[in-house]
Amino acid sequence: MKFIDLFAGIGGMRLGVEQAFGDSAECVFTSEFDKFAVQTYKANFNDSVVHGDITKITSSEIPNHDLLLAGFPCQPFSQAGLKKGFADTRGTLFFDIERILKYKKPKAFLLENVKQLKNHDHGKTLTTILEHLNTIGYKNTKYELLKARDFGVPQNRERIYIVGFSDKSIKFTFPTPLYQKTCVGDILEQDISDKYTISDRLWLGHKRRKLENRKNGKGFGYGLFNKESEYTNTLSARYYKDGSEILIEQQGKNPRKITPVEAKRLQGFPDSFKIPVSDTQAYKQFGNSVTIPVIKAIALEIKQAINIS
């Protein structure tokens, strides 16, 4: 089963697919723009050839493949297509997925995006994406919102997944959530460096902003967790800035940020996954990545669907 990895980041989608398909999976093309993400990707995957900006790569340069993977950024379609009308995808990065699917016609694709895509521009963006996929031959397409914490990972991360097949007769269903009990203590390291403990000034600022938000009826603010907590808030790419969304309680001192290793575990990456970059880049990369067990569960359903058909 040959696949390509677009907007690859650090290879989270690839890792989940390889776990599902085993030795039968072969990545034949990778594209990623960010140089630090490429550094991490190359440190963890043996083939190490990572192509750059997908907008500058023609469809004919991409090898034949069975499955296309893409965790693509979501830009406002309505702004990008102002002159062409809303239904035009040019000017958005989804266009590059669309042109490759149209030209190479793989059996299947798996796309991932933030949950806000479902309601972006009153649902018009998702409708546009589905219409374009249908037009280029992927009439057998489904989407679903899935939560990381429903697949054994202690993180309240919800993402939209879109799966499509060129063969209309293929029967595919999204994986059933496991609903197994999760615990933040399972991902925590021991003997943490004091550098991850937040300063008095930052801690006071977090508490002040939470009080102000509460007064204004917003309800936003820092998230405080301990080893007994079922799950954390969603890890974001901006976590490196102040760590406010996920703070870990400490006895007798200020809370601390999670470590890069804990961020890795919070996304379901194995401990063997190498982190060759700074803490700042690591937080960005894991915050931008996917939750491996969710991708694996979807990929197993794709594998079964293709094999049964």
Any idea which residues carry the catalytic annotation? Answer: 74
Q: What is the DSSP letter of 62?
A: S
Can you say how many angstroms the Cα of residue 303 is from the centroid of all Cα atoms in its chain?
20
- Which amino acid does the sequence have at 69? L
- Whether residue 100 contacts residue 68, with contact meaning beta carbons closer than 8 Å, is answered with yes
The CA–CA distances, whole Å, from 262 to 89, 107, 186, 235, 270 equal: 38, 36, 9, 11, 11
Inter-residue long-range contacts of 11-14, CB under 8 Å, 24+ positions, other chains counted: 11/40, 11/41, 11/44, 11/45, 12/71, 12/267, 12/269, 12/289, 12/290, 12/291, 12/292, 12/295, 13/69, 13/70, 13/71, 13/110, 13/112, 13/290, 13/295, 14/45, 14/69
Q: What is the DSSP letter of 237?
A: T
